[in-house]
Amino acid sequence: MPVFVKLDDLLHARRMTLTELAERIDLTLANLSILKTGKAKAIRFSTLEAICRELDCQPGDLLGYENGEDAEG
């Protein structure tokens, strides 16, 4: 899939766990994990906004796009 999620990198840079982020944005750990692993088919703008607020980032910091067969995810 050419669109991929860079949540692991952002969490590591902010020294935050996935559990802590899930609690801060009021999202289940299971749903956030699905997003983190790239298995999500969609993301709500409200969820994207909450993640960006808590990680102090822009949507482009969280999502990436790679054209071609070597794409992550």
Number of domains in the chain: 1
**pLDDT one-digit tens code per residue, 52-62:** 999 999 999 99
Question: Residue 32: inside a domain, yes or no?
Answer: yes
CATH number at residue 47: 1.10.260.40
Q: Kindly report whether the global pTM for this prediction surpasses the value 0.75.
A: yes
Strand partners, 65: 3
Given a cut of 80, is residue 69 above it in pLDDT?
no
Spatial distance between the Cα atoms of 22 and 28, rounded to a whole number of angstroms = 6
Structural domain range at position 39: 3-65
Question: Residue 73: inside a domain, yes or no?
Answer: no
Q: What does residue 4 show for φ and ψ, rounded to 5 degrees? A: -135, 160
Q: What 3-state DSSP class applies to 3?
A: strand
Question: Residue 33: inside a domain, yes or no?
Answer: yes
Q: What 3-state DSSP class applies to 5?
A: strand
Print burial letters for 19-39: b (CB count within 10 Å at least 16), e (below 16). Answer: eebbeebebeeeebbebbeee
